[in-house]
Amino acid sequence: MTSSPPPHEPDEVARLTARAAELLEAVWGQTPTAPVSPSQLPVLFVLEHNEGINLRTLADTLGSTPPSASRLCDRLQAVGFLERAPSPNSRREVHLYLTKPGRAFLAEVRARRERELTALFARMPAHKRSVLLEGLEAFCWTAAARIHEDQSSDSRSA
């Protein structure tokens, strides 16, 4: 005589995910990332998975504009985390690369963030960690697919 289990509709999970994201931002907001500003950090993330991208594509991916992206690259180049290389095909295009120190810095930031989370998850029951892991794996897979689709449609419509 028990009622059927709750349905867990997409919008229910969406609401909780949004709340989780807000909480996570509150936890991470305190973590310093000097000498890289909050605006510069996404540049490193994008470059990591898009080796040799040009400036316009970077700006599009950031949801920003070429002048802004150019300035961000200026600063990152100044601290040695980014490299501008002339394109072999087109003399007006620039290819962007993370330098070795840039990658090392990125790994540092991730490690710092993950340490924060590890401390948090240590206080969660092992079973909850397991189900969260399974759910997040599916989320990452779906989100990555969606982002990839968006990029494809962007380049078609551009």
Contact footprint for DNA (CB under 7 A)? 37, 39-40, 54-57, 63-68, 70-75, 84, 87, 90-94
Are 13 and 33 a contacting pair, CB within 8 Å?
A: no
94 three-class SS: strand
Are 73 and 42 a contacting pair, CB within 8 Å?
A: no
Residue 86 or 139 having the CB closest to its own copies: 139
Rounded to a whole number of angstroms, the minimum distance from the CB of residue 23 to its own copies is: 4
Cα–Cα distance list, 56 to 82, 94, 99, 119, 154 (Å)? 16, 9, 20, 39, 12
65 binds, among its own copies, DNA, none (CB under 5 to 8 A by kind): DNA
22 binds, among DNA, its own copies, none (CB under 5 to 8 A by kind): its own copies
104 binds, among its own copies, DNA, none (CB under 5 to 8 A by kind): none
